Amino acid sequence: MKTKEGGQGTARIDEGLSLLGGETCYRVDYAPEVLESFANKHPDNDYWVRFRCPEFTSLCPITGQPDFAEIRIAYLPDRRMVESKSLKLYLFSFRN
């Protein structure tokens, strides 16, 4: 469990995130339900969140051979932010 010291004790920063700290089950079918998010602690500030996946692979639907790509995602979060491990598992679900 990840925690952060607060003024009145210890508050959880991973509340509602089920993938952190546990065993990872890699899905090989499209699985949008694996995406998780958490509250943006600074929604009034504008800042970029960037993810880079240099090793994205999927199987070509015609040849069955692996296709390789690099995915870059950049966004300005509002109230919620994408949890990076869940994004990795979501991208992995495109494998087949």
By C-alpha distance, which of 43, 1, 44, 47 is closest to 22?
A: 1
Q: Between 16 and 56, where is the model more confident? A: 56
Domain residue spans of the chain: 3-92
Cα–Cα distance for residue pair 96/11, rounded to 1 Å: 39
- Measured between its terminal Cα atoms, the distance across the chain in Å is 32
The model carries a pTM of: 0.68
* Tokens, residue 49: 């969140």
- Looking at 3.30.1130.10, 3.40.50.410, 3.40.1050.10, 3.30.70.260, the CATH number of the domain 3-92 comes to 3.30.1130.10
Residues with catalytic function: 60, 67
Q: What is the pLDDT of residue 32?
A: 86
Backbone angles phi, psi at 64, to 5 degrees: 80, 0
pLDDT in tens, 20-78: 667 767 767 788 888 999 999 999 999 999 999 998 998 898 999 999 999 999 999 99
* pLDDT (0 to 100) of residue 70: 97
